[in-house]
Amino acid sequence: MNILFFGPNGSGKGTQGAILKDKYNTAHIESGAIFRENISNGTELGAKAKEYIDKGDLVPDEITIPMILDRLKRDDCKNGWLLDGFPRNKNQAIKLDEALKEAGMALDIVIEILLDREIAKNRIMGRRLCVNDNNHPNNIFIDAIKPDGDKCRVCGGELKTRADDQDEDAISKRHGIYYDTETGTLASAYYFKDIAEKTGTVKYITLNGKPSVKEVAAELISKL
Ligand code: AMP
C-alpha cells in the first residue's frame, strides 16, 4: 500500500500516520524527521537544511526531492510506504508523480486532514517530541495524548520541543505554505486529487481533523 498523507502542521498527521503504518506495515517516511535526524547527527545535509527549517521556510527542492526519491528505493519500502510531509509544493508533486510512473509504482491512497489554521497553530505549540521514538505522540493541549508529567506517555522517555514549533512567525510561514492552493502544499494535494478523480485508481480521503485523536482515527479506518 502506497499512501500520501496531507494535513497542516499540527493536524495530527504524525499520530494518524502511525496508525496506518501499523495497519499496513508500510515504511513511514517523514521528510521533516529525516531532516531533524540529519541535524542531530551533524551531517552536511542537516547543516544545509537547518537554516531553512528554523525560519519555517521549505528546504530547497534540489535537496529535498532527491532525498525522498532515494528513500523510496530502500528495501523497507518494498511492502509499501507512507509519505508524510512530502510533497509540500506543486513542483514536488509533479516530480513524485513522474518518479512513480518511471518506477512503475502505483499510488493507492491520498489522505487530506482538514483543519482550521488557528486550531492547528495551538496544537503545534503544545506538541512534544519523544527522544526515543518519533512515533510516540505527546501534546500538552490534547487530553488523549497528554505527556505523563514531563515524560513521554508511551515509553517514559525525555520530551523535547522543536524550536520551529515555538516560533509564531515560523508557524505562520509554514501554514502559509500549506494552505496555498496555487503552488503550495494544498496545490500538491489537489494535483493528486485531480488524478484520483480522473483515473479512479487512487482513493482520495478527507478527514475532519477537529475531533479527538480516537474519533479522527475511527473516521480514517471507516473510510479506508
Ligand atoms: P515537518 O516536520 O513536516 O513540520 O517539517 C519541518 C520542516 O522541515 C519544514 O518546516 C521544512 O523546513 C522542512 N521540510 C519538511 N518536509 C519538506 C519538504 N517536502 N520540502 C521542503 N522542506 C521540507
| Matching residue, cell 503550495 | 184
Residue 20 scores a pLDDT above 90: no
Does any domain span residue 152?
no
CB within 8 A of 138, min separation 6: which ones?
127, 128, 129, 130, 145, 146, 147, 152, 153, 154, 159
Task: Give residue 44's domain range.
Answer: 3-115+183-223
Share the mean pLDDT of the chain. 93
Binding site membership of 58 for ligand 1 (Cβ less than 6 Å): yes
pLDDT of the residue at 40: 93
On whether residue 144 sits in a domain, the answer given is no
**Cα–Cα nearest to 110, from 23, 17, 173, 172:** 17
Specify the pTM. Answer: 0.88
Check whether 63 has a pLDDT greater than 90: yes
Question: Is 159 part of a structural domain of the chain?
Answer: no
Higher pLDDT, 56 or 202: 202
Whether residue 17 has its Cβ less than 6 Å from ligand 1:
no
For residue 102, what pLDDT is reported? 94
Q: pLDDT tens for residues 161-211?
A: 988 888 999 899 999 999 999 999 999 999 999 999 999 999 999 999 999
Per residue in 78-98, pLDDT (tens digit) is: 999 999 999 999 999 999 999
Q: How confident is the model at residue 114 (pLDDT cuts 50, 70, 90)?
A: very high
CA-nearest of 121, 122, 209, 113 to 172 is 121
The answer to the question of residue 148 being in a domain is no
Measured distance CA(205)–CA(223) in Å, rounded: 7
CA of 85 to the centre of ligand 1 (A): 6
The pLDDT value given to residue 15: 83
Please report the pLDDT score of residue 22 as a whole number.
86
Residue pair 177/188 in contact by the 8 Å Cβ criterion: no
Name the residue of 45, 53, 124, 169 whose CB sits within 8 Å of the most ligand 1 atoms, as the mutation to test its pocket.
53
Domains in the chain, number: 1
Residue 167 lies in a domain: no
Catalytic residue check, 88: yes
Q: How far, in Å, from the CA of 106 to the mean position of ligand 1?
A: 24
In one letter, which amino acid is 37?
E
124 belongs to a structural domain: no
Decide if pLDDT at 110 tops 90: yes
Examine residue 172 and state whether it is found in any structural domain, yes or no.
no
Q: Distance between CA 66 and CA 64 in Å, rounded?
A: 6
What CATH number should be reported for the domain holding residue 66?
3.40.50.300
Residue 131 lies inside a defined structural domain of this protein: no
